[in-house]
Amino acid sequence: MNITAYLYVPFIAWAVSQFIKFFLALIRGEGNIRYLYASGGMPSVHSATVCSLTTWALIDGGASSPLFGITAVFAGIVMYDSFGVRRSAGEHAKAINQLINDLSRNGGLKNANDYREMREMLGHKPLEVLVGAMLGIVIAISFGYQKIVNNYPVVFSIPSENAIKILFVISAVAIIASPLIYVLGSRKFKKNKGAVSKITYLALISLLFGVIVLISSFLAYEGISTLLSSWAVIVGIFLIWAIVKLVFFLQLLKANAKNKPTADDKRKSTWINKAKQKRRKK
In a domain, 203, yes or no: yes
Residue 52: CA count within 13 A, CB half-sphere: 28
**Separation in Å, CA 109 to CA 44, 62, 119, 165, 206:** 36, 59, 20, 71, 54
Q: Is the pLDDT of residue 110 over 80?
A: no
Closest CA to 121 of 21, 229, 194: 21
pTM of the model: 0.65
Please indicate, yes or no, whether residues 229 and 254 belong to a single structural domain of this protein. yes
Q: Is the pLDDT of residue 269 over 70?
A: no
In a domain, 243, yes or no: yes
> Angle at CA 231, nearest 5°, toward 225 and 233?
90
Q: What value does the CA radius of gyration of the chain take, rounded to a whole number of Å?
A: 25
Mean per-residue pLDDT, 137-161: 83
Please indicate, yes or no, whether residues 75 and 213 belong to a single structural domain of this protein. no
In a domain, 144, yes or no: yes
In a domain, 103, yes or no: no
- Structural domain boundaries, residue 20: 1-84+123-151
Q: What percent of the chain has pLDDT over 70?
A: 76
Please indicate, yes or no, whether residues 20 and 134 belong to a single structural domain of this protein. yes
Q: How far apart are CA 202 and CA 122, in angstroms?
A: 30
Please indicate, yes or no, whether residues 132 and 28 belong to a single structural domain of this protein. yes
In a domain, 54, yes or no: yes
Q: Which residues of 191-220 are buried (b: 16+ CB within 10 A; e: fewer)?
A: ebeebbebbebbbebbbbbbebbbebbbbb
Please indicate, yes or no, whether residues 251 and 196 belong to a single structural domain of this protein. yes
